[in-house]
Amino acid sequence: MIIDGKKTAAELREELKKKVAELKSTHNAVPGLTVILVGEDPASKIYVKNKEKFAKEVGLNSEVIRYPADLEEKVLLNKINELNKNDNVSGILVQLPLPKHIDKRKVIETIDHGKDVDGFHPMNVGNLSSGYDSSIPCTPLGCSILLKKAEKNLSGKHAVIIGRSNLNGKPMTQLLLKENCTVTITHSKTKDLKAECLRGDIIIAAVGIPKLVKGDWVKKGAIVIDVGINKTDTGIVGDVDFDQVSKVAKAITPVPGGVGPMTIACLLNNTIECFKRANS
Ligand code: GUN
């Protein structure tokens, strides 16, 4: 089974469109998403453009603020503080990576945690790990929705995550624990990555190494979610060798068309959730 992220994301956006229309009639307002892009990173420019396009498609108030790469940090922090106070803005996203002279941590912590649609603010990270209501980082949220497409009940499954980033690996762990999975987090210092992967009923590959996960790394019948988006001479490929692994796995996400579209749909979902929390 190939898990179709493009179709699942389109279905989720249709649901979100209805939710936005409902909020418009009950609250006489629609959620607003402001995305800030600093600099000219080509991948970031494409991501931001897509975020804007889909936010508009579901009926959100969407705004993108673009700054040059030499932006002073304090100008960015002042803008975030201004957006924090603006009731028309439900969600704020500062596209990463930021230029080196800007302190990422300071930026994330300046965003009002109630408007933190990325779920990167320490308050949201803490709430998620404590099992309380919080914004959930978009990529792992998208992965967990796709996982559920392949297997409704994840209880007792052994999930192996490759990569320990704050964006994916760590929050993914929390989501899988919530589903009663047994979770192994692996990373660059893991001794025998292949042996760890072979133990997984579920593999989440989020490490940024093209086609790292081979067919003989995967247990027959496992579910494989590929978070990787790697540019190579032959085009965009994931962290999983799709041709090999799709012969062994019960279900697998393709790249492109897997996790990528879900990340944006989950961002729109998080914006609506922030609006609802702020207006409840
Ligand atoms: N850059 C790559 N992925 C992300 C993401 O999920 N959020 C933000 N803010 N920046 C990113």
The predicted-structure confidence for 196-254, as pLDDT tens digits, reads as follows 999 999 999 999 999 999 999 999 999 999 999 999 999 999 999 999 999 999 999 99
Which member of 19, 79, 112, 118 is catalytic? 118
Strands 251-252 and 223-226: parallel
Does residue 167's CB lie within 6 angstroms of at least one atom of ligand 1?
yes
Helix, strand, coil content of the chain in percent (nearest 5): 45, 15, 40
Rounded Cα gap, residues 174 and 130, in angstroms: 9
C-beta of residue 264 within 8 angstroms of C-beta of residue 56: no
Tell me the whole-structure pTM to 2 decimals: 0.97
Does residue 270's CB lie within 6 angstroms of at least one atom of ligand 1?
no
Chain mean pLDDT for the chain? 98
Ligand 1 centroid to Cα of residue 87, in Å, is 23
Which member of 51, 170, 211, 219 is catalytic? 51
Does residue 34's CB lie within 6 angstroms of at least one atom of ligand 1?
no
Residue 139 Cα: closest atom of ligand 1:
6
Ligand 1 centroid to Cα of residue 245, in Å, is 27
Please confirm, yes or no, whether 226 is among the known catalytic residues. Answer: no
Superfamily of domain 138-260: NAD(P)-binding Rossmann-like Domain (3.40.50.720)
**Chain centroid to CA 56: how far?**
19
Does residue 95's CB lie within 6 angstroms of at least one atom of ligand 1?
yes
Low-confidence ranges of the chain (pLDDT < 50): none
CB atoms within 10 A of CB 235: 9
Give, rounded to a whole angstrom, the gap between the first and last alpha carbons of the chain: 40
Please confirm, yes or no, whether 118 is among the known catalytic residues. Answer: yes
Ligand 1 centroid to Cα of residue 138, in Å, is 8
Ligand 1 atom 2: residue of nearest CA: 96
Phi-psi region at 105: left, alpha or beta (left = phi > 0; alpha = psi -120 to 50): alpha
Does residue 16's CB lie within 6 angstroms of at least one atom of ligand 1?
no
Cα dihedral 79, 64, 11, 9 in deg (nearest 10) = -90
Indicate if 138-260 has the same CATH topology as 28-112.
Answer: yes
The pLDDT of residue 118: 98
Considering the chain, what percentage of its residues have pLDDT values greater than 70?
100
Q: Where are the alpha helices (DSSP H) in the chain?
A: 5-27, 42-57, 73-85, 104-110, 122-130, 138-150, 169-178, 193-198, 242-245, 259-278
Residue 137 Cα: closest atom of ligand 1:
6
Does residue 183's CB lie within 6 angstroms of at least one atom of ligand 1?
no
Does residue 139's CB lie within 6 angstroms of at least one atom of ligand 1?
yes
Domains of the chain, residue spans: 28-112, 138-260
Please confirm, yes or no, whether 201 is among the known catalytic residues. Answer: no
Q: Topology of domain 28-112, per CATH? A: Rossmann fold (3.40.50)
